[in-house]
Amino acid sequence: MVNQMFRNMKKNLTILTLAMLLSVASAFAQGGTTGPLTWNIDNGTLTISGEGAMPDYDYPDYAPWYQYREFISTVIIENGVTTIGVYAFYFCYAIESITISNSVTTIGNNAFSSCMTLESITIPNNVTTIGERVFTGCTALVSITVESKNPNYSSLDGVLFDKDKTVLICYPAGKKGNNYAISNGVTTIENYAFYCCQTLESVIFPNGVTTIGDRAFHGCIALKSITLPHGVTTIGDNTFYACMDLLSIDIPNGVTMIGDGAFNSCISLTSITLPTGVTTIGERTFFGCKSLTSMTLPNGVTTIGNFAFTSCYALTSITIPDGVITMGDWAFSSCTALKSITLPNDMTTIGNFAFDFCTALLSIDIPGNVTTIGYEVFSYCFALESITVESGNPTYSSADGVLFDKNKTVLIRYPVGKKGNNYDIPNDVTTIGRSAFSACATLESITIPKSVTTIGVYAFAGCTALTSITNLNPVPVEINYSEFLSVDQSACTLKVPTSAVSAYQNAEVWKDFNIEGIEVGIVETDNYPSLRIYPNPTSGELRVTCYRHCGLDPQSPENNEIAGQARNDIQNVAVFDVMGRAVLVETRHATSLQSHIAHRTSQITFDLSNVPAGIYFVRIQTENGMVTRKVVKE
């Protein structure tokens, strides 16, 4: 019973709401003006009368009847009205019929767009101008008829043409049939001509067609194949946008211009051959063509536009000719199957984010003529192990697979997939660039030299495994939280010079790390001639031996007497790298090898096999003092 009561209340409220809306519409329909014209809604019919031109409308100031569009099923434009304004009946989705008087000479852009229940319309004799997109979104429109004496327009089989039938202006989106043969004599397919003709599967072109306009076949989701005639020279912007069933298209050699977004979101397109006359791959030309597996660009191409191949998920190879000079922003972004790409020698510019999210890309070589590399070009390239720059490049360089500026003072990009968990930034670097280490999720430790004075935004963002940072700059570099975004600072140790601990503890962002002081700038001392470290250089095992005068002045009789006493001289040994970081510490007492007074000796042995090759300092603490010696690990 409760449910029944609720349904009754809901029904009554619905009836009441409709009654109120009808009442408001009826009250407002008593009179209304728009420019020099008046309008009236009565029983679902909108009548527009008066003398002169209807104003143009646009968001947010649509026509005054727009708010009552759900009640309008019929439109009558009476004699005396000379124009139908821009967006006049936009999204009046309940309109089923429109009568246009002979006094009308101009129909503005988008005048009837998205009138989704309109099935047919007649264009009177005196209309001399029809704007763009007048019938876009009229998904039920079956027929457009032009009166025979119209001087500028004509119709054939319900399709709108210019008077001579050389320009196909509009094919009704709701026209019956899956196939259409464009009539002979047509040279131009106008902008939006077949816009969202969702049941159209094939179109046959006559040989005379030379130009296909912008968005001419936009949203023709059932269109499977296209063969363009040899006379075509121009394909407009977004011409085949979202033709989602399009498997193949034959483009004739005469085509020299392919507009931006021409094949955007053609998700079934697997291959395409471009003619030699094409010089530019425009913006978003193949954006989202997720089935496209390979591409060979013709020799005449000089520019690859922004987003040209973005999200071509299946693209495994592309051949770029030597003439290409510029690669735009996001050009190959999210081409997740692309493992390798060869950049031509003539290339000078690589745009921002050009290869970001190319997750299978293993390596890349930067040619010698490249003088501009945008920011975050290789972000999220998780498999990228190496970036190599040709030695003659005047602007950029590389070392150990890492990208730098020419002088190696700016670290631009550390490859996300580079092997190893640790990295020491070279001593000459002054700037760590924007996103230089971003998404390096396997990097566990990093050393920042004291030369670094600038750290770019997002420099270490996403380095989620980072647990140790050694920063040798005694003055904290000013940074924001974005530089270490997604780094667990509470679980990451920040090692800084002992003298700078307080400064880092009071510096924004840095203060949130676990801060430890380290000694920086170890100096070799050789004041204990009776102490021996060997072999040096070493490939692994290293011995430290302290003879009888270890730590004492051998010329002193007093010390000679002390040296004869039984004790262990070596207390601990520590090995440091050139940055002052401890790589090994032995704290146990050394073993006494000989006990007689004349040859008192103590010795400790340890293994450096797992330490990388380089220069190290061994610091030995004895009962009588400390000594530091330099050793070389081969």
Owner of token pair 């003088």: 371
What's 9's DSSP letter? Answer: H
Q: E-assigned strands of 101-170?
A: 106-107, 120-123, 129-130, 143-146, 153-156, 159-162, 167-170
Q: Where are the domains of the chain?
A: 28-176, 188-259, 279-419, 445-518, 531-633
Q: Residue 530 contacts by C-beta under 8 Å, 6 or more apart in sequence?
A: 546, 547, 548, 549, 550, 551, 552, 554
pLDDT of residue 548: 53
pLDDT of residue 603: 77
Do the two domains 279-419 and 531-633 of this chain adopt the same fold?
no
Q: Is 158 exposed, middle or buried (0-12, 13-18, 19+ CB in 10 A)?
A: middle
Q: Is 64 exposed, middle or buried (0-12, 13-18, 19+ CB in 10 A)?
A: middle
CA angle 210, 265, 355 (to 5 degrees): 110
What digits encode the pLDDT tens for the residues 120-161? 999 999 999 999 999 999 999 999 999 999 999 999 999 999
Looking at 2.60.40, 3.30.1300, 3.40.1000, 2.30.170, the CATH number of the domain 531-633 comes to: 2.60.40
Q: Which of 482, 442, 441 is nearest to 459 (CA)?
A: 482
Classified as helix, coil or strand, 217 is coil
Q: What CATH number is given for 28-176 in this structure?
A: 3.80.10.10
Q: Give the chain's residues under pLDDT 50.
A: 1-3, 5-7, 9-11, 13-29, 551-568, 589-599
Q: What CATH number is given for 279-419 in this structure?
A: 3.80.10.10
Q: Residue 2 contacts by C-beta under 8 Å, 6 or more apart in sequence?
A: none
pLDDT of residue 7: 46
pLDDT of residue 590: 43
